[in-house]
Structure 1
Amino acid sequence: MYSIKMFGVREEEITIAQNWAAENNIKLSMTKEILTMDNLAEVNGFDGISLSQVGRLPDEIYPKLAQMGIKQLAQRSAGVDMYNLELAKENGIIITNVPSYSPESIAEFTVTTALELIRRTEKIRQRVASHDFSWEPIIRGRVLGNMTVAVIGTGRIGQITAKLFKGFGAKVVGYDLYPNKELTDILEYQDTLVDAVKQADVISLHMPAVKENYHAFDYAMFKNCKKDALLLNMARGSLVDTKALLQALDEGLLQGAGIDTYEYEAPYMPKDFSSKEITDELFLALINHPQVIYTPHIAYYTDEAVKNLVEGGLDATLEVLNTGDAKTRVN
């Protein structure tokens, strides 16, 4: 019987993991703590590890894991930018992810946020709370079907997002390093990122967090936006230079933003800070900006996604233990 250690476990994941362990005859141990050098000793005696890391895993941990006989780390998310993939490989450690756990969940949340920005629902609710029921241009919305949406990154999530926007009647353009010919009836691919951005009323990001995409949306890129454009980032925080975004909003380079992922979110996600101090001034500026709808990396968060992430991470762990490799290997 194999034994697996799960780190970063939330209460809602426990029953799902226990049921999986019973079905697969696995001895399972769980902790709500993430894996660090301080609790590394807890790995001793286990065959495999399933993780839900948010922040960067220390480089010094990989050789230590290798010494313990650990051959894999199964991340319970699509993103793996918290790992040093090459260093893991050098130490004989296979990194896996869950590449598709519910793309519909993220796509639907993306469109939901777009509609909130377009129809100014945050501002309307604020005025209603103060009993201001007047009609003024400040709360006047637009029609999504008359807009152009740029979907940046047309993988699983981007494809569904494009289809949903298309369903509202919007014109959809796309940009991807590897265009998908099967999507040409849904969107029009543009030759460059700038070409896509320049014509967009809504810019929806669905790119991976690779070094080539780091701060792809910086101040220079925002200068290409329409002044009434809206930016949506339900992908990875590092795609957007947050300081530049706030400057662009303040200077009127674009109208608003829906941000679900923040580049320095690791100390705060997913934790309750209602009685704690937030020391990150940039984060505070982001969540308090009147033109930003901020949500705490929650676009994926549905019943289906939680179940698929737990089971997907554990399935990958068991696959490596049984075969020495995995279909969802990323290094």
Structure 2
Amino acid sequence: MKIAFFSTQPYDREFFNQANQDERFAYQFYETHLGPHIVEAVNDVDAVCVFVNDRVNREVMEVLASRGVKIVALRCAGFNNVDLDAARAYGISVCRVPAYSPEAVAEHAMAMLLTLNRKTHKAYNRVREQNFSLNGLLGFNLYGKTIGVVGTGKIGKAFCRIAKGFGCELLAFDIYEDPQLKEMGVSYVGMEELYKASDIISLHCPLVPENKHMVNRETIQQMKDGVVLLNTSRGALIHTDAVIDGLKKRKIGGLALDVYEQEEKLFFKDLSGAIIEDDTIQRLMSFPNVLITAHQAFFTKEALTQIASTTVRNIEELLSNQVLSNQQALVV
């Protein structure tokens, strides 16, 4: 069974090779992302494996189908970058990794909140330069603060457990309410109430057409003055220009992003010697109360091990016409 991997990094090779020690798969690794510019290179493979910034649109699906590709396997949970209607039309199965390590993403979200609040990244650089002043490093207690969690799937639920340990009050919004979280003291409310009552808002929901740019000028105005926003889900949940305006007007007191709407041109690349032409992210990085990491939240040994093992199992089971061990993994 042959698999072509796109958006490949060294750690992808390492963990997927570990999951293939019996060599039942033959791998092809491409560093470039999958899109119309490279899809013609796909040949003689049963499946393609893609990540968050690969573009698997109808044009790409058509070429994959003509080359005999049977499966598009996402090594992530989200699938907003795949044209599912085209997959159905061309008879291509789409699978994903619905849950690899929810704690990895939830812990990173909390780490970003703590860093942004207590300014440990700035303190680290100061002390290395023998500057032991505390001026400009003032934070606030998390204890007793109200955190609004948008999306209480596996990651949102893990984040709630962590935040509860800090003594925070938790509000949540989800189409499906989790009874275990309610027993833990999480209160489910409407989005408007969550916006109005939360000191901190953390996004843990998939990107669908209905929630694109859910954080926009209108909803930001509903939030508390000085609200702290966290996004470790998908960049397009946030209207970036509206958030920049909120930062300039001091409506938003802090912003932590592990995702960015235009990240495909930036993230997972070393651009330290390049001139970045994206004025929006340059503007974001100019704010002292903005913290950005480059889609790092998933990046733990445990998560990468689970991603690799689940992905190859999904492909093997689909190619063998077996019922998937995890039915949530099958998208189409």
Query: How high is the TM-score relative to the length of structure 1?
Result: 0.93
Where 1:184 maps in the other structure, the secondary structure is helix
Residue 210 of structure 1: CA displacement? 0.4
| Distance in 2 between residues matched to 1:16 and 1:125, nearest whole Å | 32
Contact 2:6 2:54 in 1 (8 A): no
Sort the Cα spacing of 1:216 and 1:20 in 2 relative to 1 into closer, same or farther, 3 A: same
| 1:144-180 deviation per Cα after TM superposition (whole angstroms, max 9, x unaligned) | 1121111110000000100000011111111111111
Shift of 1:59: 2.3
- Looking at structure 1, the residues matched to 115 and 128 of structure 2 have their Cα atoms a distance apart, in angstroms, of 17
| 8 A Cα contact 2:44 2:68, kept in partner | no
Query: In structure 2, how many angstroms separate the alpha carbons of the residues matched to 1:54 and 1:325?
Result: 28
Q: Provide structure 1 residue ranges, at least 5 long, that are not aligned to the other structure.
A: none
Deviates more, 1:320-329 or 1:149-158: 320-329
Match for residue 85 of structure 1? 84
Query: Residues 172 and 187 of structure 1 are in contact (CA less than 8 Å); yes or no, is this contact kept in structure 2?
Result: yes
Structure 2: 5+ residue runs without aligned partners?
none
Q: Separation in 2 of the partners of 1:72 and 1:324? A: 14
Q: In structure 1, what is the Cα distance between the partners aligned to 2:178 and 2:126?
A: 44
- Provide closer, same or farther for how the CA distance between residues 131 and 253 of structure 1 changes in structure 2, counting only shifts above 3 A: same
Alignment-derived partner of residue 199 in structure 2 = 201
Cα distance in 2 between the residues matched to 1:35 and 1:303: 25
Per the TM alignment, residue 271 of structure 1 is displaced from its structure 2 partner at its CA by 0.5
Establish whether residue 175 from structure 1 lines up as the match of residue 169 from structure 2.
Answer: no
In structure 1, how many angstroms separate the alpha carbons of the residues matched to 2:34 and 2:17? Answer: 20
- Which residue does the alignment assign to 2:151? 153
Equivalence for 1:189: 187
Aligned counterparts of 1:330 and 1:288: Cα–Cα separation in 2:
39
Equivalent residues of 1:56, 1:81 under 8 A apart = no
SS of equivalent residue, structure 1 residue 255 = strand
Check conservation: 2:172, 2:189, Cα contact below 8 A.
no
Superposition misfits of 4+ residues, deviation over 6 angstroms: none
Residue aligned with 1:37, SS: coil
Matches within 5 A, 1:125-274: 125=124, 127-128=126-127, 131-136=130-135, 138-274=136-272
- Answer yes or no: is the 8 Å Cα contact 1:162–1:187 preserved in 2: no
Structure 2 length normalisation: TM-score? 0.93
Query: In 2 relative to 1, CA 120–17 (structure 1 residues): closer, same or farther, beyond 3 Å?
Result: closer
Q: Secondary structure at the match of 1:215?
A: coil
Q: Measure, in 1, the Cα distance between the counterparts of 2:45 and 2:121.
A: 48
Distance change (3 Å), C-alpha of 1:168 and 1:154 = same
**2:148–2:171: 8 Å Cα contact kept in structure 1?**
yes
Asked whether the equivalents of residues 230 and 255 of structure 1 are also in contact (C-alpha less than 8 Å), the reply is yes
- The aligned counterpart of 1:330 is 331
Give the C-alpha shift of residue 90 in structure 1: 1.2
Instruction: Name the SS of the counterpart of 2:147 in structure 1.
Output: strand
SS of the equivalent of 1:151 reads strand
The CA deviation string for residues 194-215 of structure 1, in whole angstroms up to 9 with x for no partner, is: 1112111111110110011100
Find the counterpart in structure 2 of residue 315 from structure 1.
Answer: 313
1:269–1:296 Cα contact (<8 Å) kept:
yes
- In the alignment, is the contact (CA less than 8 A) between 1:4 and 1:46 conserved in 2? yes
**Post-superposition offset of 1:256:** 0.5
**Matched residue type, 1:330:** V
SS at 2:183 equivalent: coil
Paired with 1:139 and 1:20, the residues of 2 have a C-alpha distance of: 45
Alpha carbons 2:171, 2:187 under 8 Å: kept? yes
Indicate how the Cα distance of structure 1 residues 25 and 133 shifts in structure 2: closer, same or farther if over 3 A, else same.
Answer: closer
Structure 2 CA distance for partners of 1:61 and 1:126, relative to 1, 3 Å: same
Would you say how many aligned residue pairs link Structure 1 and Structure 2? 329
Q: 1:252 Cα shift?
A: 1.4
In the alignment, the residues of structure 2 paired with residue 301 and residue 121 of structure 1 have an alpha-carbon distance, to the nearest angstrom, of 21
In 2, the alpha carbon distance for the partners of 1:303 and 1:119 equals 27
Distance 1:27 1:230 in 2: 46
Shift of 1:102: 1.0
Root-mean-square deviation (CA, aligned residues, Å) is 1.9
Which amino acid in 1 is paired with 2:159? T
Instruction: Report the CA distance between 1:61 and its aligned residue.
Output: 1.5
**CA distance, structure 2, for counterparts of residue 62 and residue 140 of structure 1:** 52
Deviation digits for residues 49-98 of structure 1 (CA, Å, limit 9, x no counterpart): 22225143342111221122212100111111111111111111111111
Correspondence 1:283-322 to 2 at 5 A: 283-322=281-320
* Partner residue in 2 for 1:108: 107
Q: 1:130 Cα shift? A: 6.0
Give how far 1:312 is off: 2.2
